[in-house]
Structure 1
Amino acid sequence: MLEQLNLWYKRKFSDPASATLLVMVVLAFAVLIFWGAMLAPVLVAVVVAYLLEWPVNKLDKLGMGRTWAVSLVLTLFISLSVLFMVALVPVIWQQGVNLLTEMPLFWSKTQTWLLTLPDAYPGLLSKQDIDMALVGVNERVVSLGKDILSASLSSIVSLVALMIYFILVPLMVFFILKDRGELLGNLAGIMPKDRRLLKQVGREMNTQIVNYIRGKVIEILIVGTVSAITFALMDLRYSLLLGVLVGFSVLIPYIGAAVVTFPVAIVALFQWGLTADFWYLMIAYGIIQALDGNLLVPLLFSEAVSLHPVYIIIAVLFFGGLWGFWGVFFAIPLATLVKAVFNAWSENSLPRQSERQVT
């Protein structure tokens, strides 16, 4: 066993480029794990810069000049973001408050329905079983209410942090885009000289991350907009709030669509009951999910590296547990990074094996 491990280590890491790649990957993950929260504004700025690099580069090639191109693109991006926040965020917030206000009514109706189950299924359920279950759920609901209250009391600190984001992130995005060449040159200066595999992984990941972020933003906008319009046309309550939830659910493949189905179905069920309107809505929602998975995703992510669903779920659970929302958002690019690193090691070991066989 030890001999096999020794052979595997020599095959993968005897090349200095492989050892350099391993060290850099470990250092990068260590920085993110220990200082990720502190560096969050920088990471957000890098993500936004990735999104805006394409239009900036196009305008620069047309002769506008990089500084003017960065200024124009960043101004348009900030203007659209502010317009979104002014026009939609207050409506979404109000619908969320209204939904939370009506949650006790939803729960009361649910309890009434649960208490009818022992009469409908006397051989399977008893009133005592339902009462015990309701006591446990009520305790959990009270605890959840306390958590929400404590979170609302600490929202002032979060608001201050959000204001800092609004100031720091645009400034960093501007300088990252404007001085991109200089920053990359400085980064290359502190990197090891033997970085052949690092360049290979970097080229692959640069394409993958840009395509993923841009495609995922477009997917969120399309799915969220279509869902909100569909819910509004069918006169579903909280249509904008639920449309936004459906849009953001695409961040988590497979899991997100399954999770967001519950609030959509619950609101529709309490609004209409098990009527034709309820089933029409669920059919429309199913069509949206089917078109997203079978038409939109293949079009947007045709150049992305395919990952098995099991790997995607593992990546979402692992990185989401480490970094919360941003871990979920970057779960697929990070999983692709891990795959690219292993591919680079494997491809690097093949020539060395062939050289040994020739000699």
Structure 2
Amino acid sequence: MTIQRQIAFWILALVVLGLMLFTLRTILLPFVAGFALAYLLDPLADRMQRIGIGRLGASLVILVLFVLIFIITLVILVPLGAQQVTAFVEKLPSYVTRLQQLAAEQGGPLLERLGGSKALQEMQTSVGNLISQGIAWFGSFLQSLWSGGQALLGIFSLLVVTPVVAFYMLVDWDRMVSTIDSWMPVKQRDTVRSIARDIDRAIAGFVRGQAMVCVILGTFYAVGLSIIGLNFGAMIGMTAGILSFIPYVGSLTGLILSMGVAIVQFWPDWTMILATLGVFVFGQFVEGNILSPKLVGESVGLHPVWLMFALLAFGALFGFVGLILAVPLAAALGVIARFALKQYLASPLYRGGDAAGLKHQVDADA
């Protein structure tokens, strides 16, 4: 089989896989969530095996503990979070109005000198329209995700089917990996294994590492803002921590929300406003210099813009399933794209006839 036919075959396979996922997106959520859960917990099962616990027993213990922790967290945190979110949404219009008033009071004289009262009115109208459009877009995006989640099998299927799927996947994980490995083309098996290891390293390094970063930052922001006495501090802090899964997005979102609330709540006390700012500055410093280098590392290769695009694109196409698939698919595509670029730079297409030896070396390294 020529290289052109192999490329055509794999492109066709990817297209068929994409069409299958899109067609079956209404029933995929519990299965994709179970697969993701098994993938994340597989290293723990391997460690338990090494200390003498059988694979079946290790999988059962891990899943039972995970489900118990998940249920306890759901019972305790979800009601509290729902109350805070509801109260924040109710007060959001008044916060926006107050911020506009403060902007008009503090910046009004300068704007009147520059452009008169008309410029001030235009500024207020533009800010109000921008905020309204942003809230409407975010609400419609959340509604599309929620409707997509409802169109699947619902919360009941997620809570019941996902642990069962995760259990069976976790028990048979090593066997499945070995079987899939045996299906790889013999001549390209070493290359495929190398790419698969890079993809696994990227996914595992980012998901597990960034999840720890999110937990630590969310806890720090929530505690810090609550100590300051900021209204909705715990909700804003946890939201910033969750959104920190996309580097810089969580801190920036939390900073904007907390500073807006702080200005309305504490004005004209600049000490408390600066204290709110200090929480996020310190958190960003710790994330950039300690947490991300230690927990995530530099070899992941997931650019924040690419990750943001993947989350929005797959979320819009597949709902909650898309959000689960976005990170592994983005990591896999990134690894494959880097490999393809490496092959191209060593090919005659890029260097002409002098590239044969270099391409052979690249193949050997891969």
Letter in 1 for 2:308: V
The worse-fitting range, judged by mean Cα deviation, of 322-331 and 237-246 is 322-331
1: distance between equivalents of 2:193 and 2:212?
Answer: 28
Matches within 5 A, 1:149-298: 157=150, 161-184=154-177, 187=180, 195-196=188-189, 197-274=191-268, 275-298=270-293
Alignment partner of 1:63: what SS? Answer: coil
Q: Deviations over 1:7-61 (max 9, x none)?
A: xxxxxx7376656555555554554555556423322222111111111111122
Partners of 1:20 and 1:195 within 8 A in 2: no
2: distance between equivalents of 1:15 and 1:158?
Answer: 40
Letter in 2 for 1:127: S
Matches within 5 A, 1:1-359: 14=3, 22-32=11-21, 35-36=24-25, 38-116=27-105, 117-132=107-122, 134=124, 137=128, 141=132, 157=150, 161-184=154-177, 187=180, 195-196=188-189, 197-274=191-268, 275-302=270-297, 304-306=299-301, 311-324=303-316, 333-345=328-340, 350=346, 353-354=356-357
Change (3 A) 1:23 1:185: farther
2: distance between equivalents of 1:156 and 1:320?
Answer: 15
Deviation of residue 91 (structure 1)? Answer: 1.2
Partners of 1:46 and 1:173 within 8 A in 2: yes
Number of aligned residues: 343
Deviation of residue 182 (structure 1)? Answer: 4.0
Letter in 1 for 2:309: L
Change (3 A) 1:212 1:330: farther
Partners of 1:252 and 1:329 within 8 A in 2: no
1: distance between equivalents of 2:82 and 2:327?
Answer: 29
Partners of 2:202 and 2:299 within 8 A in 1: yes
The worse-fitting range, judged by mean Cα deviation, of 93-102 and 132-141 is 132-141
Letter in 1 for 2:194: Q
Q: Deviations over 1:273-300 (max 9, x none)?
A: 2420110121122111111111100001
Deviation of residue 168 (structure 1)? Answer: 1.3
Deviation of residue 90 (structure 1)? Answer: 1.3
Partners of 2:205 and 2:296 within 8 A in 1: yes
Partners of 1:16 and 1:194 within 8 A in 2: no
Partners of 2:85 and 2:235 within 8 A in 1: yes
Gaps of at least 5 residues in structure 2 are: 348-354, 361-366
Q: Deviations over 1:92-145 (max 9, x none)?
A: 111111111222321332343344344443122443444455556369749967
Letter in 2 for 1:40: L
Name the counterpart of 2:351.
Answer: none
Change (3 A) 1:159 1:318: closer
2: distance between equivalents of 1:120 and 1:254?
Answer: 33
2: distance between equivalents of 1:84 and 1:128?
Answer: 52
Identity %: 20
2: distance between equivalents of 1:347 and 1:15?
Answer: 18
Gaps of at least 5 residues in structure 1 are: 1-12
Deviation of residue 268 (structure 1)? Answer: 1.4
1: distance between equivalents of 2:94 and 2:312?
Answer: 33
Deviation of residue 226 (structure 1)? Answer: 1.3
Letter in 2 for 1:241: M
TM-score, normalised to structure 2, is 0.78
Change (3 A) 1:139 1:283: closer
2: distance between equivalents of 1:26 and 1:198?
Answer: 19
Alignment partner of 1:251: what SS? Answer: coil
Partners of 2:240 and 2:254 within 8 A in 1: yes
Change (3 A) 1:83 1:34: same
Letter in 2 for 1:124: L
Partners of 1:59 and 1:69 within 8 A in 2: yes
**RMSD, aligned α-carbons:** 3.9
Deviation of residue 303 (structure 1)? Answer: 6.4
The worse-fitting range, judged by mean Cα deviation, of 195-204 and 265-274 is 195-204
Letter in 2 for 1:164: S
Partners of 2:99 and 2:260 within 8 A in 1: no
